[in-house]
Chain A
Amino acid sequence: MTVLAPPTITRTGQTAPRPARRRRSWTGWAFVGPFMTVFAFVFVAPIAYAIYLSVFRTRLIGGTSFVGLENYQQVFTDPQFWSATWRVTLFLLVQVPIMLILALLIALAIDSGRLYGKAFFRVAVFMPYAVPAVVATLMWGFMYGSRFGLVGNINDTFGISLPDPLSPDLVLASIGNIVTWEFVGYNMLIFYSALQVVPKSLYEAAELDGASQFQVIRAIKLPAIRGALLIATIFSIIGSFQLFNEPSILQSLAPNAITTYFTPNMYAYSLSFSGQQYNYSATVAIVMGILTMIVAYAVQLRGTRKDR
């Protein structure tokens, strides 16, 4: 509708006759038509289809029936769904801060100009992001192997017995390590590019005032990249809630440690593809989507309020 606004304003001044006005309004829609069509197909239709699926239930015996909100009721009392959600929340609370602080430290170090071989570090830290997640996980999976992997080799060579990274207690931490490795470079790049646009005059002024490097970081650099920090945090929240590739691939190496409901996404996947419960799976997907939006929005609200 905002697209329509400009022509409306210009025309009201001319007091054009009514039929012409009518035609004009359709012209506007013709322009947004292509967009609306694509939007309907690509954005609205899949969501509408998921909602449509979520109010039915298909059974092997008895076929499909309309069940209203029963699937939603089931989600809210489903211990497997909530254990999965709790697991990714824990992941979010531990892994995201570690990753972002590491990324920030590296970005500040590279930006400080005191680092020897700055270009090399920038590329080296960013490189893992260019490795596809599937390949990265397979690679780490081989290293984690306590029989034939790197951990196994270390155990053999030094005659020690390291804890098995793929055991039920440690597997979430091991996945956190993989994800951190993959995404530190990406977040570092966001922070680094935000630091690049800080006007150099501020640093000169700080130097004249005799500010120390830490005072510069606290008073100039961090406030300047608050927006970037917020964006990186929101991306990481969404990424955590959508955790799927890494546990899904490691599952073949640790089938008992990574259950079919390890993360909400894996739960939706196995409901749909092993259990044929498409309807319930769609419900889980919708609920998880809404939860993610709520958390991301809450973080954004908080972040922008501080800006003012």
Chain B
Amino acid sequence: MFTNRRAFLRTAALATAAITTAALAACGSDDSGDTTTPVSADQVQAALDKGGSITVWAWEPTLKQAVAAFEAKYPKVKVNLVNAGTGNDQYTALQNAVAAGSGVPDVAQIEYYALPQFALGKSLTDLTAFGAGELDGTFTPGPWSSVKTGGGTFGLPMDSGPMALFYNKEVFDKHKIEVPTTWDEYAAAAKKLHAADPKAYITNDTGDAGFTTSLIWQAGGKPFAVDGTNVKINLADEGSAKFAGTWQKLLSDKLVAPVGSWSDGWYKGLGDGSIATLVIGAWMPANLESGVPGAKGKWRVAPMPQWTAGASAAAENGGSSLAIPKAGPNNALAYAFLKYATAGEGVKIRVDNGAFPATTAELKSAEFLGKEFGYFGGQKANEIFAKSAADVVPGWSYLPFQVYANSIFNDTVGQAYVTDKPLTDGLKAWQDASAKYGKDQGFTVG
């Protein structure tokens, strides 16, 4: 009896182990299928003719119109456009879906800074197999080089974000402040504005990794150097020091509004003049029009303030690609949509709705450059954006684990925003924590 029971227990334990192993196998992601077989244009066309449905995860607002036009053109295709969160939230969801091996979308919006991490993690389809190489020359050099990483092309550029200074002209006129052309003038304007109206701030900032890296980029800094699996991080180089010097002044004097971007308070501040400027990517107009409709006519666009008077350096801020996750169920159809939205008829539709293109043809067209923005009082803002796109400082690169690095930005650099800790210490802490993570992940960090 006793031996029986023990035998049974042993069997039970084995059964439990077997069940657990089965569960583990089901949970583990499938690493096979590393090589992608070429997919011809005919096969993509066949998928379009056959029809079906694809799921697109994206938060870019003008994709909605492109999807509608795409569905009208190919009536058999159904596109489910899902907003799975903006930026990091979506990447978290995407990483989870990829790790779980289920619920992966066919197409996902991935910002340029995040693309290397997903490509390196073997989560994305190399679009070379679909003949993405033919599109060489279609896109502007900056975004095109951003999607070509690790020897493949892992996305198609959907938009770009050459930076410009957006300012509330009404506020500037009211307090008789000149539009700043250098960062020193910008800091002076911040002081003057806040003194004239204690409720008004030159801008908002609660510590934003994308903004900080873009400003360092413009200042000529190259804090991240990547060569395969060798990574160098130096957030104390000349460009980073220039940024830290100027921004420290604004923080110490409490001249930036402690309001997080994209929050309700942010939209409110942009509308009522208490946040007077934004230095941000050229994709902003569509967001202003939809998010702050009440301030129509008050805002204007100017070139980005410079680190050296008289220079014309710019940086990219954000900007996204559309990519095809490897585990997505319908790759051929996904590529058809990708091409339509980023290099085909979809581009025009999106540009008409306020998107900022990454395609050379659109950026150079007279129609695009001559467009008058009602929101900016009839200003031909695209001329400034296109100029900025051409002035982007070359040679910048992001870390192959930038998504993680950005997620700990507030743990480290963010401390300078709420305590007396200097910004340079924060940048140092960010560098150390990022380097530690890089080492843990098997990179050689120097």
Contacts and interface: CB of A to CB of B under 8 A. Distances in A.
B20 A168 contact: no
A59 B229 CA distance: 12
A168 B92 contact: no
B411 interface: yes
A260 B443 contact: no
B187 interface: no
Given A255-B260, A256-B414, A273-B95, A145 B265 contact: yes
B121 A52 contact: no
Contact of A276 (B23, B95, B263, B264): B95
B403 interface: yes
A145 B260 CA distance: 12
B263 A260 contact: no
Contacts of B8: 25-26, 29
Interface in A1-16: 1, 4, 8
Interface string A267-295: 00010011111100000000000000000
B415 A59 contact: no
Given A4-B5, A275-B404, A275-B437, A52 B418 contact: no
A245 B55 CA distance: 30
A49 interface: yes
B407 A275 contact: yes
Given A60-B400, A61-B441, A260 B260 contact: no
A257 B264 contact: no
B5 A60 contact: no
Contacts of B15: 40
Given A59-B442, A167-B418, A278 B4 contact: no
Nearest to A256: B414
A218 interface: no
Contacts of A49: 20, 23-24, 27
A8 B264 CA distance: 69
B259 interface: yes
B429 to A, nearest CB: 11
Interface residues of A, number: 40
Nearest to A52: B24
Contacts of B403: 274
Interface string A242-273: 00000000001101110111000000001001
Contacts of B241: none
B36 interface: no
Given A168-B418, A274-B404, A148 B264 contact: yes
B407 A252 contact: no
Nearest to B228: A61
A261 B1 contact: no
Interface string B378-417: 0000000000000000000000110110011011001101
Contacts of A167: 418
Contacts of B23: 41, 45, 49
B12 to A, nearest CB: 7
A248 B419 CA distance: 21
A256 B207 contact: yes
Contacts of A306: none
Contact of B260 (A22, A26, A252, A276): A252
Contacts of B410: 255-256, 259-260
A278 B121 CA distance: 14
B417 to A, nearest CB: 5
Given A25-B4, A60-B121, A61-B442, A274 B407 contact: yes
B19 interface: yes
B407 A260 contact: yes
A151 B8 CA distance: 65
A60 B95 contact: no
A113 interface: no
Nearest to A58: B441
Contacts of B20: 40, 44-45, 48-49, 52
B418 A257 contact: yes
B16 interface: yes
Contact of A256 (B117, B206, B407, B440): B206
Interface string B418-446: 11000000000000000001001111000
Given A40-B19, A45-B23, A259-B411, A274 B92 contact: yes
B268 interface: yes
Interface in A79-102: none
A256 B1 contact: no
A25 B99 CA distance: 43
Given A253-B260, A256-B410, A60 B207 contact: no
A256 B259 CA distance: 12
Given A40-B16, A48-B20, A148 B268 contact: yes
B207 A255 contact: yes
Nearest to A39: B16
A36 interface: yes
A260 B408 contact: yes
B265 A60 contact: no
A36 B408 CA distance: 43
A8 B1 CA distance: 10
A21 interface: yes
A144 B418 CA distance: 16
A158 to B, nearest CB: 16
B101 interface: no
Contacts of B82: none
Interface in A97-118: none
Interface string A131-153: 00000000000000101100000
A273 B260 CA distance: 22
18 contacts: A25-B5, A40-B16, A41-B19, A59-B442, A60-B120, A60-B121, A61-B229, A145-B265, A147-B257, A147-B259, A252-B260, A255-B414, A256-B415, A274-B88, A275-B407, A276-B99, A276-B121, A276-B404
Interface of B: 1, 4-5, 8, 12, 15-16, 19-20, 23-24, 27, 88, 92, 95-96, 99, 117, 120-121, 206-207, 229, 257-260, 263-265, 268, 400-401, 403-404, 407-408, 410-411, 414-415, 417-419, 437, 440-443
When A and B form their complex, which 10 residue pairs have the shortest distance between CB atoms, in order from nearest? A61-B442, A256-B414, A274-B407, A59-B442, A62-B442, A60-B441, A255-B410, A259-B411, A256-B418, A40-B16
Given A147-B265, A277-B440, 6 more contacts: A48-B16, A60-B442, A60-B443, A62-B442, A255-B207, A255-B414
